[in-house]
Structure 1
Amino acid sequence: MSFFGGGGAPQQPMQPDPLFAAQTEMEMYTVLFNKLTQSCFKKCASRKHKEPDLHLGEMSCIDRCVAKYMDSQELVGKVLQAANEKQAAQQMQMQQMQQAMGGA
């Protein structure tokens, strides 16, 4: 029995369920789209209209709003990915330390 882990057979990493991953991704895109739509519509086209179509100024406002929103989401995604990679590296290092101490 090792000091850190309790011994036994090594655990295999869980394989992600592709259906669950697809559903989660779809839910994330739905939330993103709904927030983007609500935010940009409120900023650019919330006035009451008599015309069924957007004016040129409203369309360009929405284009800029969507671009900025997507850029910010991409930046947040990169920061989270870097944090996840750092955490995974730390976990790997901890496992290597545990194995080194268990084997000594």
Structure 2
Amino acid sequence: MSLFIGASQQYSYAQVDPEKIKIAEIQHAAMSSTFNKVIQVCRDKCIPGEYGENELNTGEQCCVDRCVSKYVKANTIIGTHIQNKGFTPYDSMPEYQGVRAKITQQQ
């Protein structure tokens, strides 16, 4: 019994699509990479190498907030621009190309 599905019997015969699992794994890896990059860039920019206190001061907090906000805004603008140009991740990422080929064969 799954914690997320509960005791419902309607999902007991559900099939798992390996291609969808692979796409989810690729998306998870990309999201983790982006998150880790934000943490690294904003920490390097806003927090000094030597910690004087166990909590961030007001200036450091504001710097981190602005840094994360700019990073997310830039990521959103770039993503929107790429989508409007008709670019898909399948065009350049080998991981997606393999999954796309399998999905196309099934359709």
TM-score (norm 1): 0.62
Greater share of residues in helix: 1
The CA RMSD measured in Å over matched residues stands at: 2.2
Deviation at 1:47, TM superposition (A): 3.3
Cα distance in 2 between the residues matched to 1:47 and 1:54: 13
Alpha-carbon displacement from aligned partner over 1:21-76 (angstroms, at most 9, x marks no partner): 11111011111011101110111003311211111110111001000000000011
**1:58 partner SS:** helix
Q: Which residue of structure 1 aligns with residue 53 of structure 2?
A: 51
Percent identical among aligned pairs is 31
Q: Secondary structure at the match of 1:53?
A: coil
Q: Does 1:23 align with 2:25?
A: yes
**Higher relative contact order, structure no. (Cα contacts within 8 Å, ≥ 6 residues apart):** 1
The amino acid across from 2:76 in the alignment is: E
Q: Structure 1 stretches (4+) deviating beyond 2 angstroms?
A: none
CA distance in 2, matches of 1:59, 1:50: 15
Task: Identify which of 61, 64, 67 aligns with 2:66.
Answer: 64
> Could you say which structure has the larger radius of gyration?
1
Cα distance in structure 1, aligned partners of 2:48 and 2:29: 26
Cα deviation for residue 84 of structure 1 reads: 2.1
Q: What stretches of structure 2 of length at least 5 have no aligned partner?
A: 1-17, 88-107
Query: In the comparison of the two structures, how many residue pairs are matched?
Result: 72
CA distance in 2: counterparts of 1:18 and 1:84, whole angstroms:
22
> Is the partner of 1:70 in helix, strand or coil?
helix
